[in-house]
Amino acid sequence: MDANADPKELEKFAALAQGWWDPKGSSRPLHELNPLRLQYVQRIAGAGNGGLGAVRALDVGCGGGILSEALARAGARVLGIDLSPAVLQVAELHALEAAVAVEYRGVAVEDLAREQPRSFDLVTCMEMLEHVPDPAASVAALAGLAKPGGTVIMSTLNRNPLAFAVAIVGAEYIARALPRGTHEYLKFIRPSELARWGRKAGLELHDLTGITYNPLTRSFRLSPDTRVNYLAHFTRTAT
């Protein structure tokens, strides 16, 4: 197994595998976030009516395949990768039952970058970077997988007191929207850090967009406020 993976993190998500596609279970936040993520991706990488036809897409840290399937339904040719056999099994079974064409592989992003460099028009990595020991290495691998001029979209959590209060205290202990221990505050990533890792890897940052949560309506929305969750849009430089 690639060194840039924490076995405890993999075990944590494997334990959630069977409920991955339950929109009212422990993965409810993923289901609620997914339409926003897809909207953001389509706005950047889509053509015409927002479809992703002819786009070869890679979904890194795909989990049970919620975003991977959405990208495929929008027309992309999708490869989803993850290091948890349990969640990949769930992803493969759900895609089969839903008749959605998605390919899944159990491979580390760093290994795939060596195997298929500069191969994808679109690379997505949602809520994974804060769970790996060396996120900068993952960013470099994401960059290496994108074609020159290709799109790389990441999402993660900012590191500041508000993010701690909302994402850990609020989501895990008060609202119990996430299992306790889902996140570790010191692994959260400031936008300046992500931008620096991207530049070093040959990525140009174009946009940062926040995701905010309204506890009264229990709904997420895209926002200029990047203090908690945020999405980052990069392109791979031509050289």
Using the Cα atoms of residue 107, residue 108, residue 110 and residue 113 in order, give the sign of their dihedral: positive
Residue 108 has pLDDT above 50, yes or no: yes
Lowest pLDDT segment from 103-107, 122-126, 149-153, 215-219? 215-219
Instruction: Give the number of other Cβ atoms within 10 Å of residue 143's Cβ.
Output: 25
Q: Where does the pLDDT of residue 13 fall: very low under 50, low under 70, confident under 90, or very high at 90 and above?
A: confident
Averaged pLDDT, 193-203:
98
pLDDT at 1: 43
Residue 38 CA to residue 219 CA, distance in Å, equals 16
pLDDT at 50: 66
Q: Where does the pLDDT of residue 175 fall: very low under 50, low under 70, confident under 90, or very high at 90 and above?
A: low
Averaged pLDDT, 126-154:
97
pLDDT at 135: 97
pLDDT at 173: 60
pLDDT, mean over the chain:
91
pLDDT at 38: 96
Residue 192 CA to residue 165 CA, distance in Å, equals 20
* Higher per-residue confidence, 9 vs 157: 157
State pLDDT tens for residues 202-217.
999 999 999 998 767 7
Beta partners for residue 56, in sequence order? 77
Lowest pLDDT segment from 48-52, 120-124, 192-196? 48-52
DSSP state of 4: S
Residue 196 has pLDDT above 90, yes or no: yes
What is the strand order of the sheet 77-81 is part of? Answer: 102-105, 77-81, 56-60, 120-126, 146-157, 229-236, 203-214, 219-223
